[in-house]
Amino acid sequence: MVVIDVKGDIISNDDKWVYDWFEWDSTCPNDVKNALINAKPGEEIEVHVNSGGGSVMAGQEMYSLLRGNPNVTIVIQSIAGSAAGVVAMAGKNKISPVAMVMIHNVSMHGASGDYHDMQKNADILKQMNASMAAAYTEKSGKSQEEILRLMDKETWLTANQCLEYGFVDEIIKEEKSESYFTNNYSGMRLTDELRERAVQEKAKQELLKDLDFYGV
Protein backbone atom coordinates (compact mmCIF):
# COMPACT_ATOMS: atom_id res chain seq x y z
CA MET A 1 0.00 0.00 0.00
CA VAL A 2 1.20 3.50 -0.85
CA VAL A 3 0.80 6.21 1.81
CA ILE A 4 0.75 9.87 0.80
CA ASP A 5 1.17 12.30 3.69
CA VAL A 6 -0.56 15.64 3.21
CA LYS A 7 0.90 17.55 6.12
CA GLY A 8 2.09 21.04 6.95
CA ASP A 9 1.40 23.90 4.57
CA ILE A 10 0.02 23.06 1.15
CA ILE A 11 2.39 24.89 -1.15
CA SER A 12 3.36 25.36 -4.77
CA ASN A 13 6.00 23.15 -6.36
CA ASP A 14 8.28 26.19 -6.65
CA ASP A 15 8.28 26.78 -2.87
CA LYS A 16 8.99 23.17 -1.92
CA TRP A 17 12.76 23.60 -1.76
CA VAL A 18 12.40 26.54 0.63
CA TYR A 19 10.32 24.50 3.08
CA ASP A 20 12.80 21.65 2.81
CA TRP A 21 15.58 24.15 3.52
CA PHE A 22 13.92 25.17 6.80
CA GLU A 23 12.97 21.53 7.51
CA TRP A 24 9.28 22.40 7.68
CA ASP A 25 6.50 19.95 6.94
CA SER A 26 4.82 20.74 3.63
CA THR A 27 3.07 19.12 0.68
CA CYS A 28 3.09 20.24 -2.94
CA PRO A 29 1.27 18.83 -6.00
CA ASN A 30 4.43 17.06 -7.20
CA ASP A 31 4.56 15.08 -3.94
CA VAL A 32 1.14 13.66 -4.77
CA LYS A 33 1.82 13.28 -8.49
CA ASN A 34 5.07 11.37 -7.98
CA ALA A 35 3.51 9.03 -5.42
CA LEU A 36 0.68 8.22 -7.82
CA ILE A 37 3.12 7.63 -10.68
CA ASN A 38 5.23 5.27 -8.55
CA ALA A 39 2.25 3.25 -7.33
CA LYS A 40 1.81 -0.14 -8.92
CA PRO A 41 -1.31 -0.73 -11.06
CA GLY A 42 -4.23 -1.47 -8.76
CA GLU A 43 -2.21 -0.79 -5.60
CA GLU A 44 -4.14 0.70 -2.69
CA ILE A 45 -3.29 4.30 -1.89
CA GLU A 46 -4.03 6.03 1.42
CA VAL A 47 -3.81 9.80 1.68
CA HIS A 48 -3.29 10.90 5.28
CA VAL A 49 -4.42 14.49 5.80
CA ASN A 50 -2.96 16.52 8.67
CA SER A 51 -2.90 20.08 7.38
CA GLY A 52 -4.43 23.44 8.12
CA GLY A 53 -4.30 24.37 4.41
CA GLY A 54 -2.26 26.79 2.37
CA SER A 55 -2.19 27.61 -1.33
CA VAL A 56 -5.62 27.39 -2.94
CA MET A 57 -4.31 26.54 -6.39
CA ALA A 58 -1.93 23.89 -5.07
CA GLY A 59 -4.82 22.33 -3.17
CA GLN A 60 -6.99 22.37 -6.26
CA GLU A 61 -4.27 20.65 -8.28
CA MET A 62 -3.88 17.96 -5.63
CA TYR A 63 -7.64 17.46 -5.57
CA SER A 64 -7.69 17.01 -9.35
CA LEU A 65 -4.81 14.51 -9.21
CA LEU A 66 -6.63 12.34 -6.66
CA ARG A 67 -10.21 12.75 -7.85
CA GLY A 68 -11.78 9.73 -9.47
CA ASN A 69 -8.95 7.32 -8.61
CA PRO A 70 -10.71 4.15 -7.38
CA ASN A 71 -7.61 3.02 -5.48
CA VAL A 72 -7.43 6.13 -3.30
CA THR A 73 -8.80 6.34 0.24
CA ILE A 74 -8.39 9.62 2.12
CA VAL A 75 -7.94 9.53 5.89
CA ILE A 76 -8.40 12.75 7.87
CA GLN A 77 -6.24 12.15 10.94
CA SER A 78 -6.24 15.51 12.73
CA ILE A 79 -7.21 18.62 10.76
CA ALA A 80 -8.24 19.16 7.17
CA GLY A 81 -8.49 22.91 6.96
CA SER A 82 -9.12 25.26 4.06
CA ALA A 83 -7.22 23.98 0.98
CA ALA A 84 -6.51 20.69 2.78
CA GLY A 85 -10.25 20.27 3.25
CA VAL A 86 -10.67 20.45 -0.51
CA VAL A 87 -8.03 17.73 -0.94
CA ALA A 88 -9.93 15.59 1.57
CA MET A 89 -13.05 15.73 -0.62
CA ALA A 90 -11.30 14.16 -3.63
CA GLY A 91 -12.64 10.63 -3.16
CA LYS A 92 -13.85 8.05 -0.69
CA ASN A 93 -12.77 9.16 2.74
CA LYS A 94 -12.94 8.57 6.46
CA ILE A 95 -12.13 10.62 9.52
CA SER A 96 -10.67 10.02 12.95
CA PRO A 97 -13.22 10.62 15.73
CA VAL A 98 -10.98 13.38 17.11
CA ALA A 99 -10.28 15.08 13.76
CA MET A 100 -11.94 18.18 12.32
CA VAL A 101 -12.61 19.85 8.99
CA MET A 102 -12.49 23.63 8.69
CA ILE A 103 -13.81 25.60 5.74
CA HIS A 104 -13.62 29.35 5.22
CA ASN A 105 -13.40 32.02 2.57
CA VAL A 106 -10.35 32.38 0.37
CA SER A 107 -8.07 35.25 1.38
CA MET A 108 -5.51 37.28 -0.52
CA HIS A 109 -2.24 38.63 0.83
CA GLY A 110 -0.09 41.44 -0.52
CA ALA A 111 -2.77 43.07 -2.67
CA SER A 112 -2.15 46.64 -3.80
CA GLY A 113 -3.64 49.21 -6.17
CA ASP A 114 -6.57 51.61 -6.38
CA TYR A 115 -10.23 50.90 -5.69
CA HIS A 116 -10.69 49.40 -9.15
CA ASP A 117 -7.99 46.85 -8.36
CA MET A 118 -9.51 46.12 -4.95
CA GLN A 119 -12.93 45.55 -6.48
CA LYS A 120 -11.41 43.24 -9.07
CA ASN A 121 -9.61 41.34 -6.32
CA ALA A 122 -12.89 41.01 -4.41
CA ASP A 123 -14.58 39.57 -7.50
CA ILE A 124 -11.70 37.12 -7.97
CA LEU A 125 -11.98 35.99 -4.35
CA LYS A 126 -15.71 35.34 -4.76
CA GLN A 127 -15.03 33.22 -7.84
CA MET A 128 -12.35 31.30 -5.99
CA ASN A 129 -14.78 30.69 -3.13
CA ALA A 130 -17.22 29.19 -5.62
CA SER A 131 -14.46 27.03 -7.04
CA MET A 132 -13.55 25.73 -3.58
CA ALA A 133 -17.19 25.13 -2.72
CA ALA A 134 -17.57 22.87 -5.76
CA ALA A 135 -15.47 20.18 -4.08
CA TYR A 136 -17.84 20.11 -1.09
CA THR A 137 -21.02 20.21 -3.16
CA GLU A 138 -19.85 17.29 -5.29
CA LYS A 139 -18.95 15.23 -2.22
CA SER A 140 -22.01 16.02 -0.12
CA GLY A 141 -24.73 16.88 -2.62
CA LYS A 142 -25.43 20.09 -0.74
CA SER A 143 -26.12 23.30 -2.66
CA GLN A 144 -23.42 25.81 -3.46
CA GLU A 145 -25.31 28.45 -1.48
CA GLU A 146 -25.26 26.31 1.66
CA ILE A 147 -21.54 25.60 1.34
CA LEU A 148 -20.76 29.27 0.72
CA ARG A 149 -22.66 30.19 3.88
CA LEU A 150 -20.53 27.76 5.87
CA MET A 151 -17.40 29.22 4.31
CA ASP A 152 -18.52 32.79 4.96
CA LYS A 153 -18.75 32.28 8.72
CA GLU A 154 -15.67 30.01 8.95
CA THR A 155 -17.04 26.68 10.08
CA TRP A 156 -15.27 24.04 12.15
CA LEU A 157 -16.83 20.61 11.91
CA THR A 158 -16.35 17.63 14.21
CA ALA A 159 -16.17 14.10 12.84
CA ASN A 160 -19.86 13.53 13.58
CA GLN A 161 -20.82 16.78 11.89
CA CYS A 162 -18.71 15.89 8.84
CA LEU A 163 -20.57 12.59 8.58
CA GLU A 164 -23.92 14.36 9.01
CA TYR A 165 -23.07 16.91 6.31
CA GLY A 166 -21.89 14.19 3.93
CA PHE A 167 -18.31 15.44 3.81
CA VAL A 168 -16.97 12.02 4.88
CA ASP A 169 -18.10 8.47 4.26
CA GLU A 170 -17.30 7.03 7.67
CA ILE A 171 -15.74 7.66 11.07
CA ILE A 172 -12.74 5.51 11.94
CA LYS A 173 -13.47 3.18 14.84
CA GLU A 174 -11.00 2.26 17.59
CA GLU A 175 -8.02 3.92 15.99
CA LYS A 176 -5.63 6.31 17.66
CA SER A 177 -4.82 9.51 15.85
CA GLU A 178 -2.30 12.26 16.37
CA SER A 179 -4.32 15.33 17.18
CA TYR A 180 -2.14 18.30 16.42
CA PHE A 181 -1.99 21.31 14.16
CA THR A 182 0.76 20.97 11.61
CA ASN A 183 0.35 24.58 10.54
CA ASN A 184 -1.62 27.68 11.35
CA TYR A 185 -4.88 27.81 9.44
CA SER A 186 -4.79 31.60 9.58
CA GLY A 187 -1.61 31.92 7.54
CA MET A 188 1.27 30.07 5.97
CA ARG A 189 4.69 29.93 7.64
CA LEU A 190 6.64 31.09 4.63
CA THR A 191 6.91 34.87 4.35
CA ASP A 192 8.63 36.89 1.64
CA GLU A 193 11.38 37.71 4.13
CA LEU A 194 12.05 34.05 4.90
CA ARG A 195 11.94 33.11 1.22
CA GLU A 196 14.58 35.78 0.46
CA ARG A 197 16.70 34.57 3.35
CA ALA A 198 16.63 31.02 1.99
CA VAL A 199 17.55 32.22 -1.49
CA GLN A 200 20.50 34.20 -0.12
CA GLU A 201 21.72 31.32 2.04
CA LYS A 202 21.45 28.88 -0.86
CA ALA A 203 23.39 31.24 -3.14
CA LYS A 204 26.05 31.67 -0.45
CA GLN A 205 26.52 27.91 -0.09
CA GLU A 206 26.72 27.41 -3.84
CA LEU A 207 29.36 30.16 -4.06
CA LEU A 208 31.41 28.55 -1.28
CA LYS A 209 31.26 25.21 -3.11
CA ASP A 210 32.49 26.88 -6.30
CA LEU A 211 35.34 28.61 -4.48
CA ASP A 212 36.35 25.36 -2.84
CA PHE A 213 36.19 23.53 -6.18
CA TYR A 214 38.54 26.04 -7.81
CA GLY A 215 40.83 26.15 -4.79
CA VAL A 216 40.19 29.81 -4.04
Residues known to be catalytic: 82, 104
- Tell me how far apart the alpha carbons of residues 124 and 38 are, in angstroms, rounded to a whole number: 36
> DSSP assignment of the chain, as one string?
-EEEEEEEEE--GGGHHHHHHHT--EE-HHHHHHHHHHSPTT--EEEEEEEEEE-HHHHHHHHHHHTT-TTEEEEEEEEEETHHHHHHTSSSEEE-TT-EEEE------S--S-HHHHHHHHHHHHHHHHHHHHHHHHHH---HHHHHHHHHT-EEEEHHHHHHHTS-SEEPPS-------SS-TTS-S--HHHHHHHHHHHHHHHHHHHHHHTT-
How many CB atoms neighbour CB 12 within 10 A?
A: 15
